[in-house]
Amino acid sequence: MITARKEREHSMNQSMNTADIREVVARVVAQTPVTDLHTHLYAPAFGPLLLWGIDEMLTYHYLAAEVLRVSDMPYEAYWALPKKQQAELIWRELFIERSPMSEACRGVLTALDRLGLDMTERDLNTHRDYFMDRRPEDHVDTVLKTANLKCVVMTNDPFDPLERPVWMNGFAGDKRFHAALRLDALLNDWGRACATMREWGYDTEPDLGSKTVAEIRRLLDEWTQRMGALYMAASFPPDFAFPDDSPRGRIIESCVLPAGRDNGVPFAMMIGVKRNVNPALKLAADGVGLSDVDAVARICAQYPDNRFMATMLARENQHELCVTARKFRNLMPFGCWWFLNNPSLIEEMTRMRMELLGLGFVPQHSDARVLDQVIYKWEHSRAIIAKVLADKYADLIATGWPIEENEIARDAARLLDGNFWNFLGRN
């Protein structure tokens, strides 16, 4: 009797909830504000470093790579064009001469549409009009509101001659833009970084002796504090190894990890980029390679008092990275990086991560270089995250486990915002 009633209730519950679940999850995920933990955006106080508007969107390096495949214009001739003309070429070749099928092309259209532009209009100049007399300050608010972002994290390089003076002149901060201390210059070209640090007054020598180690540590401490950096980060080639007797490995062990532990900031490792595969493509020149996930496991095992974030560029590394994250609570996998930031791969990765890690990962970051891009990057990713979540809730409902909307909201908030802040220990 009881069993029969239970079965009836169970099947009613199932049919009611599974019918609604997709719509509810999609709405809740869309309404959940995001912390975008890795972007290349800047606060308006950084002046021209903050890229925004249609010509910047069209000349995104993802689209430069695409146009240089279909156009027979020599690479150098393309790069010699003023930005406006590069944008016009891309619009003509990738949007007018053929349908804008790639994810990067579709993204431009999503962003323009959500900003309220008329997408039946194919005249680029008409779209340009919208951006003409906007102020960057206001545009930031419009875009973050449209994309429903709480805040973004910038990529901040103390060795960058354009951004360095803004920090040195006492950037007052902007609650919409947090900082991440980026260490590629220090870790991936020590000879040059050493010389630059000497010019700045640090007592450094190429040999990485104890005096130099102390000076690098001083630089890390000063810049973590100056920027209020939430984490330190670096991108690495596929042959990233750990432990490693190269300058990179030695600086990581003797400077970055002690600084991370003492200052309470994680180290984000972005592994698998082959820089400059075709140098003629400039910012679009980089490729991808398979990396060694054991290096990640070893660093997490040897430094349990440090926290590590990791994203890997090769699709083939994703499963092993997930399994490694199950073994180390000081490891947080994040995002679908760069060539993985495409719907089919986001779905595959998000599904796999959820099946292996439950809700304990950060599903996405935008990597936006142009402000307006966060609109499309997050709309497209949210839809996929919602789809995967809805499937998983449907599976739970099928066991008789009821799901309520407030539980969905709680889970979505963990994925899109809370997991990152909890991992930082700042909640």
Binding site for Zn ion (CB under 5 A): 367
Residue closer to Zn ion, measured from CB, 340 or 386: 340
Q: What is the DSSP letter of 174?
A: B
Chosen from ligand FIX, Zn ion, none, partner binding at 35 (C-beta under 5 to 8 Å by type):
none
Closest CA to 373 of 10, 132, 139, 52: 52
**Residue 218 to residues 147, 189, 307, Cα–Cα distance (Å):** 38, 18, 20
Chosen from ligand FIX, Zn ion, none, partner binding at 235 (C-beta under 5 to 8 Å by type):
ligand FIX
Beta-carbon contacts of residue 144 (< 8 Å; ≥ 6 apart): 151, 152, 176, 374
Q: Rounded to whole angstroms, how far apart are CA atoms 387 and 23?
A: 10
Residue closer to ligand FIX, measured from CB, 64 or 115: 64
Residue closer to ligand FIX, measured from CB, 155 or 306: 155
3-class secondary-structure state, position 308: strand
> Whole-number minimum distance, CB 181 to Zn ion, in Å?
14
Q: Rounded to whole angstroms, how far apart are CA atoms 379 and 114?
A: 10
Chosen from ligand FIX, Zn ion, none, partner binding at 79 (C-beta under 5 to 8 Å by type):
none
Q: Find the residue with minimal CB distance to ligand FIX.
A: 367
**Residue 382 to residues 139, 152, 261, Cα–Cα distance (Å):** 22, 16, 33
> Whole-number minimum distance, CB 367 to Zn ion, in Å?
4
In DSSP terms, which residues pair with 273 in a beta bridge?
Answer: 288
> Whole-number minimum distance, CB 368 to ligand FIX, in Å?
8
Distance of CA 417 to the CA centre of its chain: 13
Compute how many other C-beta atoms are within 10 angstroms of the C-beta atom of residue 356.
Answer: 16
Contact 51, 369 (CB under 8 A): yes
Residue closer to ligand FIX, measured from CB, 27 or 282: 282
Residue closer to ligand FIX, measured from CB, 324 or 341: 341
Beta-carbon contacts of residue 19 (< 8 Å; ≥ 6 apart): none
Q: Residue 15 burial (CB < 10 Å; 0-12/13-18/19+)? A: exposed
Residue closer to Zn ion, measured from CB, 86 or 235: 235
Q: Rounded to whole angstroms, how far apart are CA atoms 163 and 156?
A: 8
Residues lying near ligand FIX in the complex (CB under 6 A) are found at: 40, 155, 235, 270, 338, 367, 369
Q: Find the residue with minimal CB distance to Zn ion.
A: 367
Chosen from Zn ion, ligand FIX, none, partner binding at 369 (C-beta under 5 to 8 Å by type):
ligand FIX
Residue closer to Zn ion, measured from CB, 75 or 339: 339
Compute how many other C-beta atoms are within 10 angstroms of the C-beta atom of residue 316.
Answer: 12
Residue matched to tokens 């994703």: 318
Chosen from Zn ion, ligand FIX, none, partner binding at 17 (C-beta under 5 to 8 Å by type):
none
The two beta strands, 34-36 and 149-153, are parallel
> Whole-number minimum distance, CB 46 to Zn ion, in Å?
16
> Whole-number minimum distance, CB 270 to ligand FIX, in Å?
6
> Whole-number minimum distance, CB 127 to ligand FIX, in Å?
23
Chosen from Zn ion, ligand FIX, none, partner binding at 253 (C-beta under 5 to 8 Å by type):
none
Q: Rounded to whole angstroms, how far apart are CA atoms 38 and 337?
A: 10
Residue closer to Zn ion, measured from CB, 282 or 298: 282
Chosen from Zn ion, ligand FIX, none, partner binding at 311 (C-beta under 5 to 8 Å by type):
none
Lookup: tokens for 257:
């990890």
> Whole-number minimum distance, CB 183 to ligand FIX, in Å?
11
Residue closer to Zn ion, measured from CB, 215 or 367: 367
> Whole-number minimum distance, CB 154 to ligand FIX, in Å?
11
> Whole-number minimum distance, CB 352 to ligand FIX, in Å?
21
